[in-house]
Structure 1
Amino acid sequence: MSETTDQPPESDAGAARYRAPALDKGLDIIELLAKQPDGLTRAEIQRDMGRSPSEIYRMLERLVARGYVSRLASGDRYMLSLKLFVLANAHPPLRRLVHQALPLMDRFARETRQSLHLVMPDHEAAVVAAQSSPGTTWEFRVRVGARLDLLDTGSGITLLAFRDAESLAATRALWDEPARDARLAAMAPELARIRAAGHRIGDSRQLVGVQDISVPILSPLNEAIAVITCAFIAHPEGGPEDAVAPTLARLQALSRDLAVK
């Protein structure tokens, strides 16, 4: 007696039987744009896909309306937005990252008497996903849920340093601001130094006397899925173990524990 199965057939004939042409066209456009860091014009998409102008126009309009594709204001050019990346961030494994990180962050805060926060990319900015404080009289903390500028915060700059070319292009498309593009281009040497060092240490751009120590949490492709930043405050009675270098070493160990294998 033969077995029955609910799985779709795997033969070529079965695959053709279960095709959804409209869905296929949308996915074809997304996959095509994913390989083009500078985007494509509608005519180029039509040429590469071998589709009629009306088919491409309707599908692009729907992808733009749903936020999967961005139309650049400078002309008839389309790029992937970060929506797929944001959807991936909502996937349970990344939600589990926050739950996994919090106990380690709380222990770090207690042992170092420093505050720290976990930041994840969110469209054209970054968002604070978790935060821990030492519970002492004096501390610096960032509100969970706060949106941070990528160009003006230690966490944001570190995220940019560990982004690939396609992700940076998608972020620039969402900005669509020549002034911000110019700032990003001017930061290229700094971003290269951060990537080579594997971390960033610099004065806070929000508070005088605070140093940001930022370390990425890396994917298997060495791209940052998140950044942990310690808002380092020197304590007058602190010893050698309370200095910046030992604190960085602890933060790097925490990051390794959270890295996506």
Structure 2
Amino acid sequence: MTNSSRPELPDGVGSQTLDRGLHVLEVVAAAEVSLQVAEIAERTGLHRSITYRMVRTLEHRGLVVRDAEGRYAVGARLAVLARAVVSPTLRDAAAPHLAALAEITGKTAFLVVAEGDSAITVHVEEPRTTIAHIAYRPGVRHPITAGGPGLALLAGGPPLPGERPEVTEARARGWAVSHGEVIPDYRSCAAPVVNHAGVCVGAVAVVFVGNGAPTEELGRQVMAAAAAVGADLHA
């Protein structure tokens, strides 16, 4: 379906090429799944050859990435650029608590925020004293309805009609869990970060590989870190 909501540039003002490139980036970022060039062209209304040049340029800059099947998704560079405008105070408040959580649990800890129907990782802290741990990077995006961090973001808000039972359970318990919903075999445990106004502004999470589900102790540790981040936002 062609996206006709993009306003035309005023005559003689701005760069049409840049405008097209940004439109392509917006379409890729808004998609819940990776897209082929033909799909991007259809959604933007651009010719396929123009779309191809745009996505290859964005790929060169690290703003989109291409998988083995030639499909495109947002790249980690986009999250790096967004750091200047997406909740800088939240990231600043979260960083030391994520670092402490990573050391206490021996697991990679990260901060996730909601953007539309997606959950996006904006900051990561890895444990420094473990022999091995999962490498995770800012820019990871997945549907907010999947994965521990997404479920925690939803649990931090009011109940919604038709929400997953796992969200209701996480809201009552204070933390969410998932197994293999975003990355096969990966387990996560996450808790919402709530600001002084009672609004969920993000989620603190840990990710790991293992046979056992997250324990009550791990859940309490993640929930305590999320609460500490929220408390620092109030200061």
Distance 1:93 1:190 in 2: 28
Match of 1:207 in 2: 184
What letter is aligned with 1:116?
A: A
Alignment counterpart, residue 125 of structure 2, candidates 111, 116, 132: 132
1:218 aligns with 2:189: no
Which residue pairs with 2:72 in the alignment?
Answer: none
C-alpha deviation, 1:188, in angstroms: 4.0
Residue identity opposite 1:104 in structure 2: H
Q: Is the 8 A contact 1:131 1:141 kept in 2?
A: no
Q: Classify the secondary structure of the residue corresponding to 1:187.
A: coil
Q: Does 1:231 align with 2:231?
A: no
Do the aligned residues in 2 keep the contact of 1:212 with 1:232 (CA within 8 Å)?
yes
Judging changes above 3 Å, is the alpha-carbon distance between structure 1 residues 123 and 107 closer, same or farther for their aligned structure 2 residues?
Answer: same
Aligned residue for 1:115?
108
Higher-Rg structure is 1
Alpha carbons 1:163, 1:223 under 8 Å: kept: yes
- In the alignment of these two chains, the number of paired residues is 153
Q: Does 1:195 align with 2:166?
A: no
Give 2:59's aligned residue.
none
Residue ranges of structure 1 left out of the alignment (5+ in a row): 1-61, 67-88, 169-184, 237-242
TM-score, normalised via structure 1 length: 0.50
How many Å apart are 1:245 and its aligned residue?
2.3
Partner of 1:95: 88
Contact 1:154 1:204 in 2 (8 A): no
Say whether the 8 Å CA contact 2:121–2:139 is kept in structure 1: yes
Of 123, 134, 147 in structure 1, the residue corresponding to residue 141 of structure 2 is: 147
**1:214 partner amino acid:** A
The CA distance in 1 between the partners of 2:83 and 2:7, in whole Å, is 21
- Aligned equivalents of 2:221, 2:162: Cα separation in 1: 31
> CA–CA distance in 2 between the matches of 1:152 and 1:142?
17
Contact between 1:217 and 1:255, CA under 8 Å: does it hold in 2? yes
Offset of 1:118 from its aligned partner?
Answer: 0.3
Aligned counterparts of 1:92 and 1:151: Cα–Cα separation in 2: 24
For residue 146 of structure 2, give the secondary structure of its aligned residue in structure 1: coil
- Counterparts of 1:22-101 in structure 2, within 5 Å, are 94-101=87-94
When you count helix as a share of all residues, which structure comes out higher?
Answer: 1
Q: Deviations over 1:216-248 (max 9, x none)?
A: 001234331000111144599xxxxxx722222
Secondary structure at 2:167's aligned position in 1? helix
Cα separation, 2, equivalents of 1:133 and 1:245: 21
**2:7, 2:194 → 1: CA distance?**
32
3-state SS, counterpart of residue 121 of structure 1? strand
Whichever residue aligns with residue 178 of structure 2, its letter is: G
AA partner of residue 226 (structure 1): G
1:150-189 CA distance string (max 9 Å, x none): 1222211221222347xx7xxxxxxxxxxxxxxxx54343
Aligned equivalents of 2:114 and 2:197: distance in 1?
A: 16
Deviations 1:187-209 (A, max 9, x none): 3433222212121123232232x
| Partner of residue 228, structure 2 | 257
Please provide the CA RMSD for this pair: 3.3
